[in-house]
A and B are shown apart, each in its own frame.
Chain A
């Protein structure tokens, strides 16, 4: 079974995320055994950010890594596991609010595709880049 990074690389629509993970130097971490739960924003999610935002982050890998780590949680959580939880603590250390009913929503994003299995965790595709605060 492919790991989280391989899934993102081989699936269409995640080129910005893959480029960001590479720029931030997180490839190795996300390919490690984990397990992790990753809320993966697709290209359209990154495109919603105003001009300059992504550029400034790509120019500053530690700051980019911090935003990306907010999308990652230690442990494998499927949608069903999250039904009874209000929030998860991200690797960035801030909480991510979760709602499963009536729609599966992560903070202010909506999950477009849930429970994608990887060898080292679970991916949920989201439609908005989520931010701490």
Chain B
């Protein structure tokens, strides 16, 4: 399943409008051109993304497993010490499959930020929170919401959420959670579906938390390899992601809830749900491609018809997003951009100073860098799917190469709409 073989393709040139990109994918490359500047930008932003992500996955699991159905979850972003210390399954000495050579508990930069924040003052966490000097956890929840709402993209997982077995196990957990609380138990009796829907949502918190528990160490390791001079091209960076995707593809996706020290298996590992099929692929579809229209760029007016009526036609993910209005009202990715701002490596800050309006429009510059980097992640997903479902790039059989090309063309067809940014990221001046 090599992705770097550079054999000249045995097929006639593609006539696709993005034929250049198709040919690059066929040669084992990425949708993103292989330039040193692109490499620097994407790796730097992976690092800046991984630190808040290290918080996102921990807090998502904390909410799914501990906060659970708390009707007033005012402190759901105040994760407990054991969730900050919780060893990442893929980092540190305790890992069975070690992706990042670093530590398994929360990243030191994250801990430092949580302690002192932007204001660089050691004040109680509650004050940091009220002063909005914190990680924007709402962004992680918005990603979770997109996965929950785009129902058609995760059929097996959703079928299980509707199964009798799931109803029974969530019923047990709901009863146990509200034990001794006649008001909530009474409400549950009156409106059982309202509670069940909340539990389903919490299962998606767990799903996304388990997904990002993998991506954070992958990005940290890529950043370390780049610093050591061991990642030197964009295709190498993509290949590292492809290998990471395959290595953990079979990781179980589950939802366990901890109620008074007892574990309730709402989705047991024995259901056979996997990281690749039930988390990674639905995540990419929900967050990179679809999400929901930005309140600040589209009208939800039903008469205006700006928003498609079919969910499959949603195209508001990062691959299509207009990044220039980042920082203004109604543009949700601003939350993430502001989170990443705190953890940029020096070489990226230096780069941003030399372009655009320097540090004044840094949120926009890093947003565009982020878009570039997600084109590279999506390329890795496309190459991984091609390797899993189709043929090697150096396959001697021309029929097989034709099937690969058809697959690549189908994937790139999704960028044939006016909102696409694939053309923009081909150009180094897009900043």
- Residues of chain A at the chain B interface (Cβ within 8 Å): 48-53, 55-57, 59-60, 62-67, 107-108, 131-133
Contacts and interface: CB of A to CB of B under 8 A. Distances in A.
Given A53-B250, A60-B269, A63-B250, 15 more contacts: A53-B246, A55-B247, A56-B97, A56-B248, A56-B249, A57-B250, A60-B251, A62-B270, A63-B251, A63-B252, A63-B272, A67-B250, A108-B390, A131-B388, A132-B277
A60 B250 contact: yes
B246 A133 contact: no
A63 B270 CA distance: 8
B277 A133 contact: yes
Interface string B132-153: 0000000000000000000000
Task: Pick from A48, A50, A53, A65 the residue with the most CB of B within 10 Å.
Answer: A50
A49 B252 contact: no
A70 B400 CA distance: 22
A104 to B, nearest CB: 14
Contact of B272 (A51, A53, A66): A66
B126 interface: no
A50 B246 contact: yes
B247 A50 contact: yes
Contacts of B272: 62-63, 65-66
A74 B249 CA distance: 26
B304 interface: no
B392 to A, nearest CB: 8
B248 A48 contact: no
Contact of B249 (A48, A53, A59, A107): A53
Contacts of B388: 131, 133
A133 B249 CA distance: 13
Interface in B238-269: 242-243, 246-252, 269
Contacts of A60: 250-252, 269
B274 interface: yes
B96 A49 contact: no
Contacts of A63: 250-252, 272-274
B302 interface: no
19 contacts: A50-B246, A53-B246, A53-B249, A55-B96, A55-B97, A57-B250, A60-B269, A62-B271, A63-B251, A63-B252, A63-B272, A63-B273, A107-B389, A108-B400, A131-B388, A132-B277, A133-B385, A133-B388, A133-B389
A52 B248 contact: yes
A107 B271 CA distance: 25
Task: Pick from B250, B270, B281, B389 the residue with the most CB of A within 10 Å.
Answer: B250
A70 B272 CA distance: 12
Contacts of B242: 50
B10 interface: no
Task: Pick from B252, B273, B281, B391 the residue with the most CB of A within 10 Å.
Answer: B252
A-B pairs, 5 with minimum CB distance = A52-B247, A57-B250, A66-B272, A62-B272, A50-B246
Nearest to B253: A63
B269 to A, nearest CB: 6
B1 interface: yes
A132 to B, nearest CB: 7
Interface string B277-301: 1000100000000000000000000
Contacts of B277: 132-133
A17 to B, nearest CB: 16
Contacts of B270: 62
